[in-house]
Amino acid sequence: MGLKGTHQITARARLALPFAMAAPRLLLGQQRAKPNLLLVAVDDLNTDIGCYGHAMVRTPNIDRLARRGVRFDRAFCQYPVCNPSRTSLLSGRYPETTGIFDNRTNPRTHLKDDALFLPEYLRRNGYFTARVGKIYHDGMDGPEDWDVSLNPRPASSLGRTGEGRNLTGGKFAFFEWRAAEGGDEDQPDGLIAAEAVRLLGEKRDWPFFVAVGLRKPHDQYIAPKKYFEPYPLDRIAGPPGPADDEADIPPAAYPPVRHNLGALEGREFRRAYYACISFMDAQLGKVLDALDRSPAARNTVVIFFSDHGLHLGEHGWWNKVTLFDRSIRVPLIIAAPGMENRGAACSRPVELIDLYPTVTEMVGLRQPAGLEGRSIASLLANVEAPWARPAYSVVTRSGRLGRSIQTARFRYTEWDEGRLGIELYDHNQDPHEYRNLASDSDYASHVRELKALLGKARPAGRSQQQ
Ligand SMILES: [Ca+2]
């Protein structure tokens, strides 16, 4: 074990920084009072989590974090793919404003200097900022974001050996699972947790922003074999849903290439995904334990979220990139010292884009210009506080946009302004979105209202998708 690959520590060149970055560090007494931030970003984690009501998946550490914070039951990403979602969250802007709709385009290509990304903003305001693992999509960090940035990788290949297979006969590389030999630290996430533990154990004079990006349960579905043990294959069911579910789903709702796993392969996929969740959860536990051991625990806000969800065969789909609840709903838990609402759940529709203004409010900084989300701090104090705006998410299909909103009751989606289809799901009766009611005359007035609401939810983005 040990570290290999990029292991970069950026030396701070304080005097070379623009005035806004260097000056606040001089106000040390004032900065000391600011809360620390521990941000834990998970990759491709849907809400198949104990505290979100999953009957089988074991997540004792996410669950204990939820007991000391507020769990958001209707939190949504803005785009169900890594880079667009993370760019939106970290810039505080909707994808139509950032112009980032794929994993290849650098977040700063379209935004240039218009946006101050969250890590850089905190660093300019006196925070020690450290990243370990995946926060931006890989390689997309800005030059002024971090004092420390680490990408630990196992030195040996032991953690890539063990029982497993590709579920598509090698056709799609990401459909590989493996119950791996070796221990936690033969996997990237084990090393990421170890580095996070080390960072949280360091004494420092400035408030910290430690961002921990855990990579599982993202494909490939590899975890140490002990995490597969709670999930014997004969106890794993196939995906739920009526046989005719797809009959009322517009083709545009799906990406063009379908994977169509067989029944056994589907169950193996679900099992490996669950095992990866439990492995990730165990790494989170090490990080939370390290925080608990630290004097900083008394003054640290913990934010736990995933960049988007994942289908495990629901609606006949085994990936993300859709606007179904499975793909765009994410776990979100915020725990702060002295919180009165410990263990509460909030059902207001909130968005990952809301995190940036939430953080600035919680640490007492003014909002930088251009943020398009709203602080959810009021919901941390009162989970039933008034909340009018729906959550807004988009995805591209062959250069055209699907746009979707979630209200307290409905999910409403238009593909290419409705030209390629409309979907309406009544979550009061159909939380799993099996019956598309868009052409049901009983819902015509709802469709009219939701269409207007969707129009209002669209950002006045400066960089519209062509
Ligand atoms: Ca259906």
Average pLDDT over residues 251-259: 95
Q: Kindly give the distance from the C-alpha atom of residue 241 to the centroid of ligand 1, in angstroms, as a whole number.
A: 9
Determine the pLDDT at residue 20: 38
Residue 441 lies in a domain: no
Determine the pLDDT at residue 463: 37
Residue 118 lies in a domain: yes
Average pLDDT over residues 276-294: 98
Determine the pLDDT at residue 33: 76
**Residues 270, 172: Cα–Cα separation, whole Å:** 16
437 and 424 in contact (C-beta within 8 Å)? yes
Average pLDDT over residues 108-113: 81
Instruction: Domain count for the chain, please give it.
Output: 1
Is 77 known to be catalytic? no
Determine the pLDDT at residue 460: 67
Catalytic residue among 51, 77, 137, 315: 137
Q: Kindly give the distance from the C-alpha atom of residue 91 to the centroid of ligand 1, in angstroms, as a whole number.
A: 35
- Of residues 288 and 107, the one with the higher pLDDT is 288
- Of residues 37 and 260, the one with the higher pLDDT is 37
Residue 390 lies in a domain: no
Q: Kindly give the distance from the C-alpha atom of residue 316 to the centroid of ligand 1, in angstroms, as a whole number.
A: 10
Residue 426 lies in a domain: no
Phi, psi of 179 (to 5 degrees): -90, 95
CA-based end-to-end distance of the chain: 48
Domain containing 245: what range?
7-384
Q: Kindly give the distance from the C-alpha atom of residue 251 to the centroid of ligand 1, in angstroms, as a whole number.
A: 12
Q: Kindly give the distance from the C-alpha atom of residue 248 to the centroid of ligand 1, in angstroms, as a whole number.
A: 5
Helix (H, G, I), strand (E, B) or coil at 46: coil
Determine the pLDDT at residue 4: 37
Residue 378 has pLDDT above 60, yes or no: yes
Determine the pLDDT at residue 24: 42
**Residues 426, 408: Cα–Cα separation, whole Å:** 10
Q: Kindly give the distance from the C-alpha atom of residue 432 to the centroid of ligand 1, in angstroms, as a whole number.
A: 9
- DSSP code at position 16: G
- Model confidence over 394-452: pLDDT tens digits? 999 999 999 999 999 999 999 999 999 999 999 999 999 999 999 999 999 999 999 99
Q: How confident is the model at residue 81 (pLDDT cuts 50, 70, 90)?
A: very high
Residue 317 has pLDDT above 90, yes or no: yes
Residue 29 lies in a domain: yes
Catalytic residue among 82, 218, 259, 346: 82
Is 346 known to be catalytic? no
Residue 393 lies in a domain: no
Query: Any idea what the CATH number is for the domain that residue 60 is in?
Result: 3.40.720.10
Q: Residue 51: name the closest of 38, 37, 68 by CA.
A: 68
Residue 434 lies in a domain: no
Determine the pLDDT at residue 114: 79
Residue 5 has pLDDT above 90, yes or no: no
Q: Kindly give the distance from the C-alpha atom of residue 42 to the centroid of ligand 1, in angstroms, as a whole number.
A: 29
Determine the pLDDT at residue 341: 93
> Quick one: CA dihedral 303, 76, 453, 255, positive or negative?
positive
- Of residues 42 and 461, the one with the higher pLDDT is 42
Residue 20 lies in a domain: yes
Q: Kindly give the distance from the C-alpha atom of residue 249 to the centroid of ligand 1, in angstroms, as a whole number.
A: 6
- Model confidence over 25-65: pLDDT tens digits? 444 444 457 999 999 999 999 999 999 999 999 999 999 99
Q: Kindly give the distance from the C-alpha atom of residue 103 to the centroid of ligand 1, in angstroms, as a whole number.
A: 29
Q: How confident is the model at residue 138 (pLDDT cuts 50, 70, 90)?
A: confident
Computed over every residue of the chain, the mean pLDDT equals 92
Q: Residue 37: name the closest of 103, 139, 130, 163 by CA.
A: 130
- Model confidence over 182-232: pLDDT tens digits? 999 999 999 999 999 999 999 888 999 999 999 999 999 999 999 999 999
